[in-house]
Amino acid sequence: MDALAPAHPTPMMAQYLEIKTANPDSLLFYRMGDFYEMFFEDAERASRALGIALTKRGKHLGEDIPMCGVPVERADDYLQRLIGLGFRVAVCEQTEDPKEAKKRGAKSVVRRDVVRLVTPGTLTEDALLEPRRANLLAAIARGRGEDGGFAFGLASVDVSTGAFSVGEVPVAGLGAALARLDAAEVLVPDGMIEELGAALGDSRAAVTPLARDLVDSARAETRLAKHFGVATTEAFGVLSKPELTAAAAIVGYLERTQLQNLPPLSRPAREGRGAVMEIDAATRANLELVRRLSGEREGSLLDAVDACVTAGGSRLLGQRIAGPLLDPAAITRRHDAVEALIEAPELRRFVRQTLARAPDLARAAQRIASDRGGPRDLAAIRDALGAAQALAERLATQRDAPDELIAIADALSAADHALALDLARTLADELPLLKRDGGFVRAGRSSELDAARALRDESRKVIAQLQAAYSDATDVRTLRIKHNNVLGYFIEVPQQHGERLLKPPHAETFVHRQTMAGAMRFTTTELGDLERRIAEAGDTALALELRIFESLVARVKESWETSRACADALAALDVAAGLAEVAVDLGHVRPHVDESLDFALEGARHPVVEAALKREGKPFVPNDAELSAPDGDGGLIQLVTGPNMGGKSTYLRQAALCAVLAQAGAFVPAKAARIGVVDRLFSRVGAADDLARGRSTFMVEMVETAAILNTAGPRSLVILDEIGRGTATFDGLSIAWAAIEHLHEVNRCRSLFATHFHELTALAKRLPRLRNATVRVAEWKGEVVFLHEVAPGVADRSYGIQVAKLAGLPPAVVRRAKAVLDELEAHDRASPVERMIDDLPLFAAARKAPEADADPAVEALDAIDPDALSPREALEALYRLKGLRSR
């Protein structure tokens, strides 16, 4: 920046350069009147990113200074676009009144300073946030964990609500933990970014390097305790060093970026190891749990089951689906709440109707407590607390309510309902967006404010009354009180009457100001005082309103903790009621979840595919899945064969999604479900290349498969689709073969394995926990009909040519393909595989081949001494050997 500085910068530009130098990594929004201006390289970058005009202002070193700006009123729109493009923005505001600056001299510059750094993880404004998605800021720190080994501390905070959590994850589990959080921004110690490239690469988050002082474990506990005003962090429970360091890093980062308006945070809640199902990034992407591969929410599992009527409820449901529980007791509590609301339709209807009128309490209270809110945020708090009170009263009438609903009712009852009443008495019916616009306080709330407003709004009436009084006192019926920008308010009378006002007794009241052609102008002390009061009335009214606003803000800050708890309770109630509504509307059932290794689904359906077919007026064909561990000795592997387009991938995915829903606390799309807790979920369904990392499609497939085979355990659920199809036929078959054996003997997990290698079905003869299943099809007049039914058995063929025909391949290509297939099938390809099943041992060196019967030709050859034979005898011996060999 120094190289760009003017040789002799103006005072304003000198101020700009000083502030910009202190914020080199951010675009500087420099407030000038009604615009945020940018200069130099910032202006050029912003102009390209936002598509706005680049202009000029002054010169430096003989060159024009590039400049562009955005209106303050529309700043949020531009900030949203810049943050989405990966920029950080430093917002520089005027910190004093321009009138005060003028008092220091005509050339004095208004004081300005950066009041906030806007980054992807620190947003609070509604315009910058997705209402139904949490916006998390995460931090990573490494150190000795609670078990003495190295681990990562992972802290996260939603700055828009204040929710703060911290946990410890093993080194190998960092990628899965980051994928679950799906943070908008991740803070990483500067020296670890390259090392953690793989884990960070699977995340969509913006990565921000942290200076060493923010990840200093020695000072972490002190920083955290000071921020929360406690003597020791033991108040938060027992936190390991990595957890303390990560939590303190978030606090330090917020202190540096939020500056004057540090948002309040809840005390960090610790998440114990093994509290939620581990799902790696690839599996989340394959199953499209909370968003599709394209990034859209629509078409995901979350979208299919989200019937929440509040933004907070949708955010909570998304978090639950992203991190299904492992504790059957906690899962049961959630199921109990859903079931209670299913069995009480009138209560469920009342709950949903009342919640639909409840604004986003968590985010509104956070904006107010961060001094970034406006009158409409206060109204949102008022309405949300009012809804909470109504819900608490209704829930209190429920007999035999489950524990979850009782806890929700208690939190709703504990909210500050007196604040809601005060807000209702204070706020007007129609509210401005910004407090500076005024008009948000209800008439009658303050007599002083009402008087100021009357003077401001009824100035014409007051002037008319004074004009009438003067007219009567002077007996001049043509006397008028007028106003212009030069004189302000003045009294105007015709010339002949003006001369009379210059003489006693009127001269003591009326002061001459101006003589016009045919008229004279006067003022009075009373009129001057009235003019001043009228001019000040608007400012006085606004100042009084702002004083009332600040008193309400103080009330909100005092009750922030109870408001946060109330917001959490409203969200939990919304989730339970929404899931109950989904269960009733879509025929979902309560799953039985326990500590066993069972996995049995009866009539299961894929919720997303079913919803899509329903829109088209088509039925979904349900199917059973049985992977329960026989006698507790490892889970079953179901090997599924059948044609493309037959529904194999849907069948695999729906089993995994049922497990996610069940452990998230939802009912599942099935007739019945029995699920032993799944601690890890693995899915490899479909793949694409990863050119950024130099990986082909097959390489991606193998990396994901390797992760599964290396880490899956008996409690895992594994779904694999078409392993080995990305390479040569026998290579792929060999890899799939070995993978099945490994799953069976080493991982011993519950697994669904779809394949087009029909040869693999022969493994069921020797692997006791392997079951064959096939997707049924029918042929009618040469056409293939997909029945989408999964039944025990083996597919006789893949029907690939029929699918290709349906896809529209040219008839000539289809005919040629069928001819080639007939030729290939003329050779018996199955017989070598059958021999392999008998000859290849499982996980052992190849057996030594049994000795064959003695060969007479070999025995005769061994008896010959070639050195003792004459040429004739040698020739005879050769003929004898040939005769023996031909027998």
**Annotated binding residues for ATP, as ranges?**
642-649
Neighbours of 186 (CB within 10 A): 27
Contact 715, 675 (CB under 8 A): no
Contact 478, 495 (CB under 8 A): no
DSSP states of 24-45 as a string? TTSEEEEEETTEEEEEHHHHHH
Cα separation of 539 and 739, whole Å? 77
Residue found by looking up tokens 């998304």 in the block: 318
Using omega within 30 degrees of 0 as the cis cutoff, is the peptide bond preceding 505 cis?
A: yes
3 state DSSP class of 814? helix
E-state strands within 677-812: 680-684, 717-721, 750-754, 770-780, 783-792
Contact 289, 681 (CB under 8 A): no
> 342-375 burial, b if ≥16 CB within 10 A, otherwise e?
bebeebbebbbebbeebbbbbbbbbbbbbeebbb
Cα separation of 523 and 501, whole Å? 11
Contact 682, 665 (CB under 8 A): no
Cα separation of 307 and 310, whole Å? 9
Residue (of 509, 560, 184) closest to 368 by Cα position: 560
3 state DSSP class of 847? coil
Contact 238, 167 (CB under 8 A): no
Amino acid letter, residue 599: F
Sign (positive or negative) of CA dihedral 425, 426, 427, 428: positive
Q: Which residues are annotated as a binding site?
A: 642-649
Number of residues in the chain? 887
Residue found by looking up tokens 């519950």 in the block: 750
- Phi, psi of 717, deg, nearest 5: -120, 125
SS (H, E, C) 257-295: HHCCCCCCCCCCEEECCCCECEECHHHHHHHCCCCCCCC
Long-range contacts made by residues 739-744, C-beta under 8 angstroms, separation at least 24? Answer: 739/705, 739/709, 740/637, 740/639, 740/767, 740/770, 741/767, 741/842, 741/843, 742/709, 743/637, 743/709, 743/712, 743/718, 744/634, 744/637, 744/769, 744/770
- Residue 190 has, within 13 A of its CA and on its CB side, a CA count of 6
Measured CA to CA in angstroms, residue 260 lies from 92, 117, 255, 372, 417 at distances of 12, 11, 9, 11, 29
Cα separation of 755 and 705, whole Å? 14
3 state DSSP class of 646? coil
Contact 160, 366 (CB under 8 A): yes
- Phi, psi of 721, deg, nearest 5: -125, 115
Residue found by looking up tokens 């040429």 in the block: 871
Bridge-based pairing of strands 599-604 and 592-594 is unpaired
Contact 277, 252 (CB under 8 A): no
Contact 184, 206 (CB under 8 A): yes
Sign (positive or negative) of CA dihedral 281, 284, 287, 291: negative
